[in-house]
Chain A
Amino acid sequence: EAGVTQSPTHLIKTRGQQVTLRCSPISGHTSVYWYQQALGLGLQFLLWYDEGEERNRGNFPPRFSGRQFPNYSSERIVNALELEDSALSLCASSLWIRVPSYEQYFGPGTRLTVT
């Protein structure tokens, strides 16, 4: 069974630019979660998508957004990049059928560097 995949693996952007990061969940999983792992800040919850809709978001500004496609893959978009957006962007997938499965499995991450 293929795990969660993410692309690209590394990305370098300039402050003020926009970036799009991609995630494909484990086959059969319907939920995608996005987390950010910045140095010294641990893993922080950003967004939760299930069945194509944004279900919840963490305490982050509106320039952080995303979407989920009919095949359950997801994109995370950051507008107006700031230096402090430099981090490892992680997505995780889970199965949510009425009663949530809870277990979340992570992808390898995208290392985003903003200069």
Chain B
Amino acid sequence: GENVEQHPSTLSVQEGDSAVIKCTYSDSASNYFPWYKQELGKRPQLIIDIRSNVGEKKDQRIAVTLNKTAKHFSLHITETQPEDSAVYFCAASGSGGGADGLTFGKGTHLIIQP
């Protein structure tokens, strides 16, 4: 089955700086890669996703890049703000689309220092 590794587990950046979180996956047939943000005590919120036929996608201050050859994808947050503090999870969906559920990374605790 699919295996997703996520790094780092904790990331502390100064407010206004950029943050990058990286994930690798094992199943070359995976074709959908979402990112979720989970604030303390809240549900995971889908913030951006990318499909395997696209190399990069941007939405305001967040962007995701995908390298299918290397089987890794990254989340980039620019001009970080205090409300960006949360745990971020990457995930991959196998060749069956949603059939296998999503395989999640272990999460990155992003801390924005004022």
Contacts and interface: CB of A to CB of B under 8 A. Distances in A.
Interface residues of B, number: 26
Interface of A: 4, 31, 33, 35, 42-46, 48, 55-56, 58-59, 90, 94, 96, 99-109
Interface of B: 1, 32, 34, 36, 42-46, 49, 51, 89, 91, 93, 96-107
Given A42-B107, A43-B89, A96 B98 contact: yes
B26 to A, nearest CB: 15
A106 B43 contact: yes
Contacts of A107: 43
A107 B46 CA distance: 12
A42 B104 contact: yes
A48 B43 contact: no
Contact of A102 (B32, B43, B104, B107): B32
